[in-house]
Amino acid sequence: MSELKQIHGLMITTSVVNNVIQLSRLVDFCTNSEARDLGYAKKVFRQISQPSVYIWNSMIRGYSNSENPVESLIMYREMLQRGYLPDNFTFPFVLKSCSVIADYRCGKCVHNCIVKAGYGLEVYGSTCLLRMYASCADMESALKVFDIIPKWNVVAWTSLISGFVSNSRAIEAIKVFKNMELHNVQPNETTMVHVVVACARSRDIDTGKLVHSRIRQLGFDPFGSSFNFNVVLATALLDMYAKCGSLRTARDLFNKMAQKNLVTWNSMISAYNQYGRAEEAIDLFSDMRIAGFVPDQTTFLGVIGACGQLGALAFGRNLHSYVSKTSVGKDTTIGTALVDMYAKIGDAGSARRIFENLQKKDVMAWTSMIICLATHGHGMEALHTFRKMQEDASVIPDQITYIGVLSACSHVGLVEEGQRHFASMVNIYGIKPTADHYCCMVDLLSRAGCFDEAMRLLEEMPIQPNVAVWGALLNGCEIHENVDLADQVRTYITEMEPHGSGVYVLLSNIYARAGRWQEVNRVRELMKNRNIAKNLGHSSVEMELLSS
């Protein structure tokens, strides 16, 4: 830029400064080179009395690639107001800006201008239109644009697949890819990245394996050779196997990777956490730190979740201290994860302190605190927290919130309040009750000895009661020694698929307390015939070695 300014100075002292071709080269360098300076470009531009369309395009293009793409749209509007006609190079840059800021109204206006200018059937412009509609979450319009493209090349197909993936329509993205293959259009590496991501999000491991095989066939396999290693495609494949539960394959690919980025580490840590392998998640986090990577929000969420699973209080507190010193320390999502971790570890006090210090509390934060208090026996405090949550008009309770609320009512024995909350969940917030909500209500009623109401609720359920619902009813039968109702429940349970030993142990305990040993033996025989083993209880104790 310093050399360019010297040349510009020479241009000013000569008649060359009025040459539109030289000025266009000057502006082009300022807007689109690696050493660009948009501020200087704008100053030069304002000195040109009659900029050419090329110069307008250079300015619009420069701003579309900047951190402030809105300026690109402002420049485009000024271009129209001053009577200049855009050409087929103008519209792609303007549409790119509309895509980045997801400005649907502006994108539609640009589309109208493209049609009026007669550029509607141009392949490159149509592909940019498709991307714009996809970025604005209007896939129906994107499909209409795709249908009028005169020749579907790999860029158009990839843009459509990417649009479906980014709009959480992964299954449709996979269908488009299969259709692309039928049209004999060969995908590129970018296409395959989007398809692999679609397989990961839809948890479609079978299609994912076929896509991986196709990647090998095309010669794109990043694990086949360290030459020309594509870390993005490699990470997408690893993430697909990890999200689909094929952790051994994912770890093998992870170990083979010639180079790893932060996303790679996060994918593996999150997968271990998601599938209950918390120790491996924490071990991998330690390896990541040794490798010199700085954890981000995604990393912390995975490791904090793993601490909650393990009940690792000491490690969890150290992690909390570490997080507090980073830029994400005050993030609501991280704070909510810490609340959940301390709740699972058994430290409700720390969970409460973190919750109170959150600068912004969303529905997940409130819900985590309500569930924490309910599970730790502080039912009244949980209900009080829910009432405070309702005072915030910006927060609307969801399905999980009401599971915590109904659970709190159950532990405290507030039958009428629980029924009122259940009704308001349906009538006020329009939340459709799930099996978990019915389980909470049956637990509430049966704990209070309201068995007639519990059975009536079971009969009115629009869905088939699962084993957890029957287990909640059996729990009440054990508390109130209602052997007759337990007999009825046993009939329903024996007709269901085996689901763990919990309900059978409850049945056995009820019969044992009533002295009906023959029935106890029948339950044990039923467990034996169904190959159901009693789950062993376990606990963990953290030991801290002290040096003298």
User: pLDDT 10s digit of each residue in the chain, 548 long?
Assistant: 888 888 888 888 887 777 788 888 889 899 988 888 899 989 989 988 889 999 999 999 999 999 899 999 999 999 999 999 998 889 999 999 999 999 899 999 999 888 887 776 666 778 889 999 999 999 999 999 999 887 888 999 999 999 999 999 999 999 999 999 999 999 999 999 999 999 999 999 999 999 999 999 999 988 876 556 789 999 999 999 999 999 999 999 999 988 899 999 999 999 999 999 999 999 999 999 999 999 999 999 999 999 999 988 899 999 999 999 988 888 999 999 999 999 999 899 999 999 999 989 999 999 999 999 999 989 999 999 999 999 998 899 999 999 999 999 998 889 999 999 999 999 999 999 999 999 999 999 999 999 999 999 998 899 888 888 888 898 888 888 888 888 888 887 776 666 666 777 787 888 888 788 888 788 787 777 666 666 566 666 665 543 33
Q: What is the structure's pLDDT at 195?
A: 97
**Cβ neighbours of 21 (radius 10 Å):** 10
SS3 50: coil
Reading the block at residue 383, the tokens are 């209900």
Reading the block at residue 359, the tokens are 């600068």
Q: Where are the domains of the chain?
A: 1-150, 152-259, 433-533
Cβ-contact 99, 132 below 8 angstroms: yes
CA atoms within 13 A on the CB side of 7: 12
Report the C-alpha gap between 136 and 100 in whole angstroms. 9
Report the C-alpha gap between 369 and 174 in whole angstroms. 39
pTM: 0.81
Reading the block at residue 171, the tokens are 């299954």
Helices 70-81 & 90-101 angle (0-180, nearest 10): 140
Contacts with 103 (C-beta within 8 Å, 6 or more apart), sequence order: 73, 97, 136
Q: Which fold has domain 152-259?
A: 1.25.40
Q: What is the structure's pLDDT at 32?
A: 85
Report the C-alpha gap between 270 and 281 in whole angstroms. 7
* Own/partner long-range contacts of 40-44 (Cβ < 8 Å, ≥24 apart): 40/1, 40/5, 44/8
Estimate to the nearest angstrom the gap between the alpha carbon of 485 and the chain centroid: 44
Q: What is the structure's pLDDT at 518?
A: 82
- CATH number of the domain located at residue range(s) 1-150 in this protein: 1.25.40.10
The amino acid at residue 314 is A
Report the C-alpha gap between 55 and 66 in whole angstroms. 17
- CATH number of the domain located at residue range(s) 433-533 in this protein: 1.25.40
Report the C-alpha gap between 463 and 449 in whole angstroms. 23
Q: DSSP string of 318-329? A: HHHHHHHTSTTT
Estimate to the nearest angstrom the gap between the alpha carbon of 41 and the chain centroid: 40
Q: What is the structure's pLDDT at 235?
A: 94
DSSP structure class, residue 226: S
Given this chain, do its domains 152-259 and 433-533 carry the same CATH topology?
Answer: yes
Please count the residues of the chain. 548
